[in-house]
Amino acid sequence: MAKLADLPPGAMIEKQILARRVAVVNDNGTIIGIQSECAHMRASLAKGGVENGVLTCSWHGWRYDLKSGECLSNPGFRLKRYEVEIDGDDVYVLL
Ligand code: FES
């Protein structure tokens, strides 16, 4: 899905995999796999900001906890989390 070298802290790489928009995020050294489609109006989250474990949608500012996928702005909404596997410099998302 991505190269570890292309994921410095705070970076996010999004890919369309079949019908899913998926992203890998470097949250202060922890690589996280997460749905990259906002639960509000399905905007891509790739242009959102990542800071201190929180992903913020660039459209209307909904905020998501990266560890759980839970929406902090509107509890009850959440993003799907995906397991990530790292092999050398390769980052894989397990769908
Ligand atoms: S589309 Fe993400 S907050 Fe509205």
Annotated domain spans of the chain: 2-94
What's the pLDDT tens digit per position in 48-74? 889 999 999 999 999 999 999 999 999
Residues contacting residue 37 through CB under 8 Å, at least 6 positions apart: 21, 43, 44, 45, 79
Atom of ligand 1 nearest to the CA of 39: 2
Assign domain 2-94 to its CATH superfamily.
Rieske [2Fe-2S] iron-sulphur domain (2.102.10.10)
CA–CA gap between residue 90 and residue 73 (Å, rounded): 33
Q: What is the pTM of this model?
A: 0.92
Question: What's the pLDDT score for residue 48?
Answer: 87
For ligand 1, residues with CB inside 6 Å are 38, 40-41, 43, 57, 59-62
15-20-25 Cα angle (round to 5): 45
Q: Which of 31, 24, 59 is nearest to 44 (CA)?
A: 59
pLDDT at 95 over 90: no
Q: How many Å lie between the centroid of ligand 1 and the Cα of residue 38?
A: 6
Mean per-residue pLDDT over the chain, rounded: 95
What sign has the CA pseudo-torsion 38, 44, 45, 47?
negative
Residue 1 confidence (pLDDT): 86
Specify the ligand 1 atom closest to the Cα of 38: 2
CA of 23 to the centre of ligand 1 (A): 16
pLDDT digit string, tens, across residues 3-48: 999 999 999 999 998 889 999 999 999 999 999 999 999 999 998 8
